[in-house]
Chain A
Amino acid sequence: MNQTKALPKQIIPVWLVSKVIGLIILLIICSVAWYVSQRFLPIITPYVLIVAVLALLLDIINIALVPYYYRFWRYEINADFVFIQSGFFIRQQRTIPINRIQNVDLEQGPLLQMAHLKELKVVTAADGFSISGITEAEADSLRNQIVKAARKAREENA
Chain B
Amino acid sequence: MPKRLHWLLVPITVINSLINSVFIFVILIFIASTFNLPKPILFGLCIILALLIIALPIINYFKTTYALEAQEFSFKTGVIIKQARHMPYTRIQSIERIQPWYMQIFKLVELKIETASQDDEPIVLKALTIAAADEIEATRNQRQHSPIPGQVEVLYPQTTGSDTHEAMVKQPTTPNPKNDISYAINMHELMIYGLTSLGILPGISILFLLYSHLSEIIPKHFLNQVNQLVVKNSVIAIVALTILAIIFGMFLSLLQILNRYYHQVVTRNNNTFSISKGFFSKTTVHFDQRKIQGITIEQSFLRRLFKLYTVKLFISGSDKQEDANDKSLVLIPVIDQLNLPVVLKNLLPEYEFEFNQLGRDNAKSHFWNFWRIGWLWFCWLPLVLIPIYYGWYIPVIIIGIIIIITCITVWAWLDNTETKYAIFADQLNIQNNVFMTKKIFLLRANKLQLINHHQSIFMVHGNTHHLDFVIREGSHAASLTLRYLEANENEKLQTWYSQQVLSENK
- Asked if A154 is an interface residue, CB under 8 A from chain B, the answer is yes
A81→B477 CA distance, assembly (Å): 19
Chain B residues, Cβ within 8 Å of A157: 159, 163
Interface size on B, residues (CB 8 A): 42
- Assess the A125–B472 pair: CB atoms within 8 A: yes
A88→B163 CA distance, assembly (Å): 40
Chain B residues, Cβ within 8 Å of A91: 454-457, 460
Q: Which residue of B lies closest to A129 (CB)?
A: B450
Q: Give B294 Cβ to nearest chain A Cβ, in Å.
A: 11
B:288-327 near A, CB below 8 Å: 290-291, 316-317
Q: Are A126 and B477 also in contact (CB < 8 A) when A91-B454, A102-B157 are?
A: yes
Q: Give B348 Cβ to nearest chain A Cβ, in Å.
A: 17
Most B C-beta atoms less than 10 A away, residue of A87, A125, A127: A125
Chain B, interface SS category: mixed
A103→B316 CA distance, assembly (Å): 18
A88→B457 CA distance, assembly (Å): 7
- Asked if A140 is an interface residue, CB under 8 A from chain B, the answer is no
Chain A residues, Cβ within 8 Å of B116: 158
- Asked if A40 is an interface residue, CB under 8 A from chain B, the answer is no
- Asked if A39 is an interface residue, CB under 8 A from chain B, the answer is no
- Assess the A156–B164 pair: CB atoms within 8 A: yes
- Assess the A96–B460 pair: CB atoms within 8 A: no
Chain A, interface SS category: mixed
Chain B residues, Cβ within 8 Å of A126: 449-450, 470-473, 476-478
Chain A residues, Cβ within 8 Å of B170: 154
- Asked if B158 is an interface residue, CB under 8 A from chain A, the answer is yes
- Assess the B470–A156 pair: CB atoms within 8 A: no
- Assess the A81–B498 pair: CB atoms within 8 A: yes
- Asked if B505 is an interface residue, CB under 8 A from chain A, the answer is yes
- Assess the B457–A95 pair: CB atoms within 8 A: no
Chain B interface (Cβ < 8 Å from any Cβ of A): 116, 155-159, 163-164, 166-167, 170-171, 290-291, 316-317, 446, 449-457, 460, 470-473, 475-478, 494, 497-498, 501-502, 504-505
Q: A124-B450, A153-B504, A155-B163 are in contact. List 11 more A-B contacts (CB 8 A).
A: A90-B456, A90-B457, A95-B498, A99-B504, A126-B449, A126-B450, A149-B505, A154-B504, A155-B504, A156-B164, A157-B163
- Residue pairs across A and B with Cβ atoms less than 8 A apart, 20 shown, are A81-B501, A87-B454, A90-B456, A92-B454, A93-B454, A97-B501, A97-B504, A99-B505, A100-B450, A102-B157, A124-B477, A126-B478, A127-B470, A149-B505, A155-B163, A155-B504, A156-B159, A156-B290, A158-B116, A158-B316
